[in-house]
Structure 1
Amino acid sequence: MTATLRTLITLPRMLRHGAAVGAHLPPDAAVVLDPPAPELRAALTAAYAGDHGPARDLLAQTRVGAEWERRGGCVPRLAESALHSPGWLDAWLAESPHDPDAVLVKAEHCVQQAWEIRTSARASSVSRDQFQAFFALLDDAVPVIGAAAELNPTDPVPWQVALTHARGSQAPREVFDAYWAEATTRAPHHYGCHLSALQYLCDKWYGSHTEMFDFAERAAEHALPGSKLNALPLLAAVEYDVVADGTPAEGDRIDRSRIHAALKRALELSDAYPQGDPEVAGVRNHLALMLVLADRHEEALEQFRAVGVHAAEYPWAYLGDAREEFLEFRAGVRMHVAARVPFFSRPRPPVPQGPPERHRSSPVTPHCLALVAAPPHTVADAALMCGVPLRIAPAPGRSSYVELAADPEPGVRATLLGEDRLTAAADNFTTGEPWPALVLRRTGDRYGFTLLHKGRKVADHDWDPAAPVPDHGAAAATAGTLATVYGLTDTRPVTSLLRGSDDPARRQSALLTALGLPPLPAGFGTRDEVLTTLADARVLARRGFFGGMVDTLSGDPAGRPTLPRRPRWWVLRVAALLLFVPVMAYAWWSPDIGWFRASLSTIATCYIAGQLTGAWRRRGRVKKG
């Protein structure tokens, strides 16, 4: 009873305030998982294209300038790229076999190769063959790590790699302690080394919850102001509350006051950085999750606002697909906050936190367009209840282009949509229909698509020049789905397009050609609402839930059809009118039929006649959207 009463109270609040709460957050389509800094992104893009020059220059800059924190973040990303495209690293080592930067990337690459075979699964889920290959590759990595340390004796990053190696190789505590001493001698406050050590000391590896928290709190106490080491207890709290399995052993339970203190310290660190600063994006992602778990939703919403578009793989990957979990938690926090705003009040505007942003580029605006394998009037009829305004234009081959139309005051259902609104709308209007919708997107130099069929997301792909290309199995599976939906017999051309990331604009356009779909309209990806320049584009206005339901049942979109009526619409209603007129006449003439049933037949006849009359009068006055 209490839960029902609470729902009756909070649901109207959510519906009323949901659109306003969190309206300052970036759209879902703009959120990117662990986006690299511009210099690193340029190096990754060049590396995937086979050019090691930008990576060489970037790491040389970090070495000469002793930018160890930055170096510790760049090396793992470059090594990851070499897992998928090793040619550039091999060429670099062949050209300069004793380059300390190239050898360092190779050392990290060797360790990552081993972990890729083992996977991040629990030991019980890893096969014996996987373990054998894992340990063999870790053995091969030892001399490479040693060479990296010798070539640049002042660099702590080789010891960051060594600490990760110690965790995988089951190194005894004295070996770990020796590596830790080497790392802290060179950089006592190096964040990457502390992260590697924290993992070694956690309960699931070789330490305990207590030892992990003691280590994290000591590091935070001695951290410099503004250092990310102040958030190390927060990461320990996530490890304890989210990652750890089962109930802690007796004597190894962490008092909740230590977790509250970790949250307080992390909040202070977050407040010291500007909104949207990628430097502390990882900290803010962890902080948002822990605040949600602590039922502190308003503070969590502020952290999501501070995160901006910089979603992090962890901690969300502990719960499932990282990006989807981030977006779902963010949407849930919005609704929790809206539910706590009194019905006749207004949500408080966001209060800027932290220092003002300086010289920070604004997030890249995402652009989306759907190609629907149905004519515009069919799409319009199916989209009456999607909850967002759409601009629909005819495309070659009895297809349609669909995009979001301007909506200064989005409705409640638009706010509640979990995905970007065009994808969610396509999910809605393809439900129960035989035709698919391919939602194309562009965000900066990243291109991609989502395929929706019968109300389900059946395929998704991104071309990102700075990210690994999918393996052949994943690309072939996506190509197979596309082939099934669009009736292709040969999937090889599509698979080839999905297996590369260079020139993503060309690949996206070539995919449409391979699928037999119409080309993209001019200007897509460079500006919003590209369909406004097409002569036959029409706007399907947003409708409320009940209005959309009535229009769907009546076939009359709010009394003003945005698009011309289909012949089938006229045939069905004329046939119904021809049926109901004699039924109505007979009902009033016959003494055996009462006035009530005669009135019902009259109302039905007048309703259909009104539909036909109104549609006939308006058929020549359809306005452009």
Structure 2
Amino acid sequence: MAFFISRGRSPRLAPELDDAELGKLLKRLVPTAGTGTAGGVETGVAQIARLLEQDPAAFDRRAHRFAVLARFLSESRLPAAWAKREPHKADALVLHAWSDLEQGRGNGEMTDAAAVWKRCLLAAELAPRDPAPWVVMLGVARLERYARQDVFAVWNEIVARDRWHREAYLSMLAYLGPRESGSLGQLLEFVDSVRTRMPANAPCAAVELTAHVMQYHSARARGGAEELLAGNHWRSPQAAELLERARLMWPRPEFFSHAAAVADLNLLAYALTAAGRRREAVPVFEAVGGRVTGWPWHLDGEPLDCFKSALGKAR
């Protein structure tokens, strides 16, 4: 079976995934993001605004673009400059707030959580149907360890606007896990509550597999006998059934249509490799097309190296 790598497409880290327009914008922003000139900021802001304005009702695509841009610009003055220039433009406020959230995640705390929250509330007033401001607020509430009722109140605002919002489901999965405010039992209860009602190709379809990867790595992190036996997790009936179902459906062309489908395929390739089902991972690697995500590969080391190693074993 011919692999993509034999056709000259070497694996690379691709935060934009298969969003070609976003990828082109990131390349154009490289010389602009760090510049302090007014012309550079103006050019960058105009390019970002055009991309985000393409389809204001495509919440899934917009969330992906906001998340990638926020991470890329978390150390840049562009988001703040845009919000200052257009203080009543929802997209500008959301990007500024989201980039501040990403910076806070890197630092372990927010510099001014109240100001970020205020910007999100204003953005929510300006764009009442858009879940994006509430997604940022959910991230702030988690990072700042707000009361549980406040976290769930924000969660309810998101799903009222976008029932299967990928970022929101993954955010709540982490929040309810033992590393934040919950436990393994709460995490599994959350997964059980959504998997029977969720469409198989929903944007948040990877929630269950994400939970399994979290459990697998939790066992590995405990060391000793549990680390040695962690691979047995993938032989449990529930995990094995999930992998079988996902490997048959997810790589199919057009099965997924959400913006982060390539990220979910990376997750599946990782899980199949961890489970020792390397031959079955071959079609998944082909569907990934060399577009590598940081998570979950970084759990085992440098993401690109880990991806290439797993690819080589699958071949």
Contact 1:149–1:159 at 8 Å: present in 2 too? yes
Provide closer, same or farther for how the CA distance between residues 254 and 316 of structure 1 changes in structure 2, counting only shifts above 3 A.
closer
Contact 1:111–1:137 at 8 Å: present in 2 too? no
Q: Provide the residue aligned with 2:98 in structure 1.
A: 108
Q: Provide the residue aligned with 2:14 in structure 1.
A: 34
Matches within 5 A, 1:346-425: none
- Report how many residues are paired: 291
Q: Provide the residue aligned with 1:258 in structure 2.
A: 238
What secondary structure, in the 3-state scheme, does the structure 2 residue paired with 1:30 have? coil
Q: Distance between the aligned counterparts of 1:135 and 1:39, measured in 2?
A: 31
Provide closer, same or farther for how the CA distance between residues 214 and 265 of structure 1 changes in structure 2, counting only shifts above 3 A.
farther
Q: Provide the residue aligned with 1:43 in structure 2.
A: 25
Contact 1:198–1:215 at 8 Å: present in 2 too? yes
Q: Deviations over 1:146-179 (max 9, x none)?
A: 2222221111111211221122111222111111
Q: Provide the residue aligned with 1:224 in structure 2.
A: 199
What secondary structure, in the 3-state scheme, does the structure 2 residue paired with 1:91 have? helix
Q: Provide the residue aligned with 1:167 in structure 2.
A: 142
Q: Does 1:55 align with 2:37?
A: no
Provide closer, same or farther for how the CA distance between residues 275 and 29 of structure 1 changes in structure 2, counting only shifts above 3 A.
farther
What amino acid does structure 2 have at the position aligned with 1:114? G
What secondary structure, in the 3-state scheme, does the structure 1 residue paired with 2:50 have? helix
Q: Does 1:182 align with 2:157?
A: yes
Matches within 5 A, 1:595-610: none
Offset of residue 255 of structure 1: 9.4
Provide closer, same or farther for how the CA distance between residues 145 and 269 of structure 1 changes in structure 2, counting only shifts above 3 A.
farther
Q: Provide the residue aligned with 2:168 in structure 1.
A: 193
Provide closer, same or farther for how the CA distance between residues 113 and 137 of structure 1 changes in structure 2, counting only shifts above 3 A.
farther
What amino acid does structure 2 have at the position aligned with 1:25? F
Q: Which has the higher contact order (CA 8 A, sep 6+)?
A: 2
Provide closer, same or farther for how the CA distance between residues 35 and 178 of structure 1 changes in structure 2, counting only shifts above 3 A.
closer
Q: Provide the residue aligned with 2:264 in structure 1.
A: 283
Offset of residue 89 of structure 1: 2.5
Offset of residue 320 of structure 1: 1.1
Q: Does 1:95 align with 2:85?
A: yes
Q: Which has the higher helix share?
A: 2
Q: Distance between the aligned counterparts of 1:54 and 1:269, measured in 2?
A: 36
Q: Which has the higher strand share?
A: 1
What amino acid does structure 2 have at the position aligned with 1:233? E
Contact 1:276–1:306 at 8 Å: present in 2 too? no
Q: Distance between the aligned counterparts of 2:188 and 2:240, measured in 1?
A: 13
Provide closer, same or farther for how the CA distance between residues 218 and 264 of structure 1 changes in structure 2, counting only shifts above 3 A.
farther
Q: Distance between the aligned counterparts of 2:9 and 2:248, measured in 1?
A: 29
Matches within 5 A, 1:62-101: 62-63=55-56, 66-86=57-77, 88-101=78-91
Offset of residue 224 of structure 1: 2.8
Select the structure of larger CA radius of gyration: 1
Matches within 5 A, 1:319-334: 319-334=300-315
Q: Provide the residue aligned with 1:117 in structure 2.
A: 107
Offset of residue 294 of structure 1: 1.8
Contact 1:230–1:266 at 8 Å: present in 2 too? no
TM-score where L is the length of structure 2: 0.83
Q: Provide the residue aligned with 1:209 in structure 2.
A: 184
Matches within 5 A, 1:328-343: 328-334=309-315
Q: Provide the residue aligned with 1:590 in structure 2.
A: none
What secondary structure, in the 3-state scheme, does the structure 2 residue paired with 1:206 have? coil
What amino acid does structure 1 have at the position aligned with 2:51? L
TM-score where L is the length of structure 1: 0.43
What amino acid does structure 2 have at the position aligned with 1:82? L
The runs of 5 or more residues in structure 2 that have no matched partner are 33-39, 228-232
Q: Distance between the aligned counterparts of 2:125 and 2:159, measured in 1?
A: 16
What amino acid does structure 2 have at the position aligned with 1:56? A
Q: Distance between the aligned counterparts of 1:156 and 1:35, measured in 2?
A: 22
Offset of residue 73 of structure 1: 0.4
Q: Distance between the aligned counterparts of 1:103 and 1:165, measured in 2?
A: 15
Contact 1:89–1:102 at 8 Å: present in 2 too? yes
Q: Does 1:24 align with 2:14?
A: no
Provide closer, same or farther for how the CA distance between residues 279 and 116 of structure 1 changes in structure 2, counting only shifts above 3 A.
closer
Q: Distance between the aligned counterparts of 1:217 and 1:307, measured in 2?
A: 28
Provide closer, same or farther for how the CA distance between residues 190 and 269 of structure 1 changes in structure 2, counting only shifts above 3 A.
farther
Q: Distance between the aligned counterparts of 1:211 and 1:326, measured in 2?
A: 31
Q: Distance between the aligned counterparts of 2:185 and 2:237, measured in 1?
A: 14
Q: Distance between the aligned counterparts of 1:207 and 1:40, measured in 2?
A: 35
Contact 2:138–2:151 at 8 Å: present in 1 too? yes
Provide closer, same or farther for how the CA distance between residues 259 and 276 of structure 1 changes in structure 2, counting only shifts above 3 A.
closer
The runs of 5 or more residues in structure 1 that have no matched partner are 1-21, 119-133, 335-625
Q: Distance between the aligned counterparts of 1:146 and 1:255, measured in 2?
A: 46
Q: Distance between the aligned counterparts of 2:11 and 2:167, measured in 1?
A: 25
Q: Deviations over 1:5-47 (max 9, x none)?
A: xxxxxxxxxxxxxxxxx64232586212124212212333343
What amino acid does structure 2 have at the position aligned with 1:189? W
What amino acid does structure 2 have at the position aligned with 1:220? R
Provide closer, same or farther for how the CA distance between residues 213 and 258 of structure 1 changes in structure 2, counting only shifts above 3 A.
farther
Offset of residue 188 of structure 1: 1.2
Q: Provide the residue aligned with 1:611 in structure 2.
A: none
Provide closer, same or farther for how the CA distance between residues 255 and 184 of structure 1 changes in structure 2, counting only shifts above 3 A.
farther
What secondary structure, in the 3-state scheme, does the structure 2 residue paired with 1:53 have? helix
Q: Percent identity?
A: 26
Q: Provide the residue aligned with 1:234 in structure 2.
A: 209
Q: Distance between the aligned counterparts of 1:324 and 1:275, measured in 2?
A: 28
Q: Distance between the aligned counterparts of 1:29 and 1:255, measured in 2?
A: 33
What amino acid does structure 2 have at the position aligned with 1:43? L
Q: Provide the residue aligned with 2:289 in structure 1.
A: 308
Matches within 5 A, 1:446-465: none
RMSD: 2.7
What amino acid does structure 2 have at the position aligned with 1:84? E
What amino acid does structure 2 have at the position aligned with 1:24? F
Offset of residue 189 of structure 1: 1.1
Contact 2:97–2:119 at 8 Å: present in 1 too? yes
Offset of residue 261 of structure 1: 3.1
Q: Deviations over 1:34-65 (max 9, x none)?
A: 242122123333434232112101212232xx
Offset of residue 276 of structure 1: 11
